[in-house]
Structure 1
Amino acid sequence: MDASSAYQDNLPVTSDALLAQLDGWGIGYQLHTHVPLRTVEDAKAVEDQFLAPGERALRLKNLYLRDRKKRNYLVSLEQDRAIDLKALGAALGVGGLSFGSTERLLENLGIRPGAVSPLAMITGVQKGVTFFLDAQAQDADVICMHPLVNDRTVVMARDALLAFFEKIGVDVRYV
């Protein structure tokens, strides 16, 4: 199955339910619908049109990782940052990082490949997933991310994203 909203009904939390929850909490965002974005390059082709002139945006690439002790991590980094899993593991203070399987991604974050997002912590926090966010987020005006599906993007103010994490009980760790 693909990661678009056409198949969201098979997710533990649908994109529609997530957006309704954000609305219920009064957490603001701008929603954009587009063709499914599967790669950073796909996202770069469309995300500029979502941003206001001069807006400092953090655009993310998201990694679902496991360590040798089978602990799960979601790491959201600036999309152009080079990734070396050994160096990343050292920065996070964990060893033996590898990518989690598609099955574990769905089980632990409630999403499919291509739709990995900090917003998936709505499921991940209940499954004990540890979240790390690029330290550049602290200087961003807005953060662009998928709302659990890859044919939608939300642009959310940094403070709104932090309010979301507070509501669901996520301890944000910066890397």
Structure 2
Amino acid sequence: MAKGTYQQVKDALKKLGIDDYNVVDHPAAHTTEEADKYIAGHEGVRTKTMFLKGKKKKFYMVIMDDKKRMDFHEFMDLTGTKRVSMARPEHLEEELGLEPGIVSPFGLLNNQDHNVKVYIDKDIVDEPIQTFHPNENTHTIFIKTKDLFKFLKAIDFEPEIIDL
């Protein structure tokens, strides 16, 4: 499978008429903490996107504030999922065409099987702007929350809002 690329994200957003976003180019960032240093002073909630695997090869994407800790038991209770853990790098590559540390909703462009359920924490839904790596960790995109939802819907993913 072709790797996700920044160009792929720009092309997809352009095709959808989403052009009101900003990008900060920076050295490769391997953690949210590293990325946050490069984007200090720019408006937008700092997010983390986790790619999880449940039993029977079910996959989940969880988008939340990067300051929040993921509670796997609470997630399983809220969603009725079973035996959820971080997906292995090979699953990330297979399903999203991404490497660990670069997970974002833009990786869903590569999810041919549409077998990933997307969850967004309600704490960030009302934030006007969200931040993500656009399939490469040398850029951070600042996208309006409404445009993120428009993007997800356009590529056939209906995120569920949960209270983590």
By the TM > 0.5 criterion, same fold?
A: yes
After superposition, the Cα gap between the structure-2 partners of 1:125 and 1:165, relative to the gap in structure 1 and judged at 3 Å, is farther
TM-score, normalised by the number of residues in structure 1 = 0.85
What is the correspondence of 1:31-110 to structure 2 with a 5 Å cutoff? 31-51=23-43, 57-110=44-97
How far apart, in 1, do the equivalents of 2:156 and 2:129 lie?
21
Deviation of the 1:49 alpha carbon: 3.0
Of 39-48 and 101-110, deviating more is 39-48
Deviation of the 1:20 alpha carbon: 1.6
Deviation of the 1:125 alpha carbon: 6.2
Amino acid at match of 2:29: L
Q: Secondary structure at the match of 1:50?
A: coil
Amino acid at match of 2:38: V
Higher helix proportion: 1
After superposition, the Cα gap between the structure-2 partners of 1:49 and 1:126, relative to the gap in structure 1 and judged at 3 Å, is farther
* Aligned residue number for residue 144 of structure 1: 131
After superposition, the Cα gap between the structure-2 partners of 1:125 and 1:59, relative to the gap in structure 1 and judged at 3 Å, is farther
Report the aligned-residue RMSD: 1.7
Percentage of identical aligned residues: 24
Kindly provide the CA deviation profile for residues 41-82 of structure 1, in whole angstroms up to 9, marking residues without a partner as x.
11221222332xxxxx32111111111222011111110111
Which of the residues 99, 102, 108 maps onto 1:112?
99
TM-score, normalised by the number of residues in structure 2 = 0.90
Amino acid at match of 2:133: H
* Aligned residue number for residue 17 of structure 2: 26
Of 164-173 and 116-125, deviating more is 116-125
Equivalent pairs, count:
161
